[in-house]
Amino acid sequence: MRHADVRAPTAPRGLILAVLAIMVVASTTTGTHASFDRATPAGICSAIDDLQFDGARANASVAWQVDLGPRTTGSNASAELRSTITADLESLGYDVSNQTHERFGMELTNLFARWPSNSTGNGQLVLSAHYDSRNVADQDENESNQSLPVPGANDAASGVAVLLELARHIPAMDLDYDVLLFFNDAEDQQPKYTLGAEAWAENLTEDEINATHAFVLLDMVGDADLQLHDVAPGNATLKSRVVELGTSLGLVNGTTACNEQAGEDIIQYDTTVHVLDDHVHAHNLGIPAIDLMDTSFGEAKPYTFGSYWHTMEDTPDKVSADSLGKVGRLVELGLRTNAFVGIDAHQEVQEHDSPSPDGDVEGVETEDHPRRNTGLTVMAMAGLVSIVGLLVVVELKGKR
């Protein structure tokens, strides 16, 4: 008697192997990333209880930096600031280094402090601020002030102060990616903006680019009348996460915060301002980038970032512990919820630049670009097609 074939239907061997091959290739092209795993409102709200950022300490740092004198590129005050940052962060256990570059007859010095994660190979998040203050108060209404260097309380010291205060808390966060604090130089020196960040970007290897989750820039974040605008160009996912974090913290008008309070009108992402700031160089390499910036410092003044911007009025009394605390807590919450990592840059439509508010600015170009690991993906796809083709041939031969 012939027995019926009662074996469960099986997928062809080739198909199984092909699926396995796809899984292997997919894992090599995407890597392992921490994800925005506390993305539920409840998850973010519970992380708020852990926040440690102290706005008063950051505010004291602003006053101290301004007291050093103008931190123009190559100045003694600039060197003094660097050596204090180096000593402070080394004593916290950071790995501190610097890189110098010659640009327009200036020697600029970029300063880096790395907090390595416990697990290796999970990439880095870059948090950056410029530490140089502008060499000329060229927007000052008083002509005799226009050749003087600005105090740079908001436009320099505020971003550095937030990074330094975050630096005290990052070691205890137990993040599974490295954090690179990048204090960039020569952002604000004539004749050209963002020279330090540009030099850094020019010297990145393909591997370093691919290992960088995001570039988060803090610029002019201390204004006592804080308003953070949507800065273009920038990464849309990072922006939406900032709005999400800000909503939880009560920084978005018309929303309710975790503490049930109505949101303030701080994060105003319905207003877009085009600024070719330091983050543009990372953005142009395909690194997800965002500029957290208050583009209205003082009264509104056409074609500028407000009446105090690039004037002698950029002093510590225009900056507040409250504003620094709000921005610091926002970034800290982003770190604690993995909001700045695991961004899929493929899904982004890249934003284009448009003229900056300063008419005679020698800007930088943004580019339309696919994500930087396209080459790797193409190679992987070619490999995958070959493997599947081979398996189909083997399968067909087996059937003959």
Among 117-125, 133-141, 266-274, 323-331, the segment contacting Zn ion (CB under 5 A):
133-141
The site map against ligand 1BN for 318-357 (x = CB under 6 A) is --------------------------------------x-
Binding residue for ligand 1BN, selected from 178, 219, 230, 244, defined by CB under 6 A: 219
| Dihedral-angle region of residue 22 (phi above 0 means left; psi in -120 to 50 means alpha; beta otherwise) | alpha
Q: With CB cut-offs between 5 and 8 Å by kind, which of ligand 1BN, Zn ion, none does residue 277 bind?
A: ligand 1BN
The site map against ligand 1BN for 160-189 (x = CB under 6 A) is ----------------------------x-
Among 61-69, 90-98, 148-156, 237-245, the segment contacting Zn ion (CB under 5 A):
148-156
Binding residue for Zn ion, selected from 132, 165, 185, 188, defined by CB under 5 A: 188
Using the minimum distance from each CB to ligand 1BN, give the nearer residue, 254 or 359.
Answer: 359
Using the minimum distance from each CB to ligand 1BN, give the nearer residue, 140 or 244.
Answer: 140
Using the minimum distance from each CB to Zn ion, give the nearer residue, 323 or 337.
Answer: 323
Binding residue for ligand 1BN, selected from 178, 185, 277, 294, defined by CB under 6 A: 277
- Edge to edge, what strands does the sheet with 106-115 contain? 95-103, 106-115, 178-184, 124-130, 212-219, 289-293
Q: How far is the CB of 128 from ligand 1BN (least distance, A)?
A: 13
Using the minimum distance from each CB to Zn ion, give the nearer residue, 188 or 291.
Answer: 188
How far is the C-alpha of 299 from the C-alpha of 305, rounded, in Å? 9
Q: How far is the CB of 82 from Zn ion (least distance, A)?
A: 19
Binding residue for Zn ion, selected from 132, 140, 155, 314, defined by CB under 5 A: 155
Among 43-51, 66-74, 92-100, 185-193, the segment contacting Zn ion (CB under 5 A):
185-193
Q: How far is the CB of 130 from ligand 1BN (least distance, A)?
A: 8
Contact (Cβ atoms closer than 8 angstroms) between residue 223 and residue 125: no
User: Which residues in this chain contact Zn ion in the complex, by CB under 5 A?
Assistant: 134, 155, 188
User: Which residues in this chain contact ligand 1BN in the complex, by CB under 6 A?
Assistant: 155, 188, 193, 219-220, 275-277, 356, 358, 361, 363
